[in-house]
Amino acid sequence: MVVSGPSGVGKSTVVRALLERMPYAWLSVSATTRPARPGEVDGVDYFFIDSRGFDAMIAAGDLLEWAEFAGNRYGTPRGPVGEHRAAGRPVILEIEVAGARQVRQAADDALLVFLAPPSWEILRARLLGRGTESQEAVAHRLAVAEQELAAREEFDEVVVNTEVPDTVETLVGFLT
């Protein structure tokens, strides 16, 4: 199951709660070329690799999907996803809309779920309320969010994230 949607919609919060509800599910760990931040652990938060290693993964077809964001590349290693699927574990990918499109092409049996905000105003307030980014960065995220919201029809399911527990129950229903 791919969980996607615009920045600020609550993807990470929902996925974290989903994993608490379904501890036997597996969340894919992305590879990235960005440096680790304080407290991040290689192989747990991300697989931290250099540009040459990322290029090699692309060339070998080892990424299910990948994209560039803010000067760094991010991608989903294909091998672990296949291993967990073969073992019968529910697999969750929390990725951007562009990545979800690539997964659709690579794994047509994947369930693509779009998390939508209750309204544009609420999404805007969530992004502004974080207080972690400049106004320019928030404006950029809002512009991207507008494009991503227009892509919701490309997904198998659209879930409005009004209340996290309700959203999680809907996702549990998709996986069981």
Q: Does the pLDDT of residue 21 top 80, yes or no?
A: yes
CA dihedral 49, 1, 20, 167 (to 10 degrees): 130
Q: What secondary structure letter does DSSP report for 110?
A: P
Q: Does the pLDDT of residue 8 top 90, yes or no?
A: no
CATH architecture of the domain with residue range 1-25+90-176:
3-Layer(aba) Sandwich (3.40)
Residue showing tokens 């129950």: 169
Q: Which tops the pLDDT comparison, 71 or 83? A: 83
User: What percent of the chain is predicted at pLDDT more than 90?
Assistant: 82
Give the confidence band of 7 by pLDDT, cuts at 50, 70, 90.
Answer: confident
CATH architecture of the domain with residue range 29-89:
2-Layer Sandwich (3.30)
Q: How far apart are CA 146 and CA 140, in angstroms?
A: 10
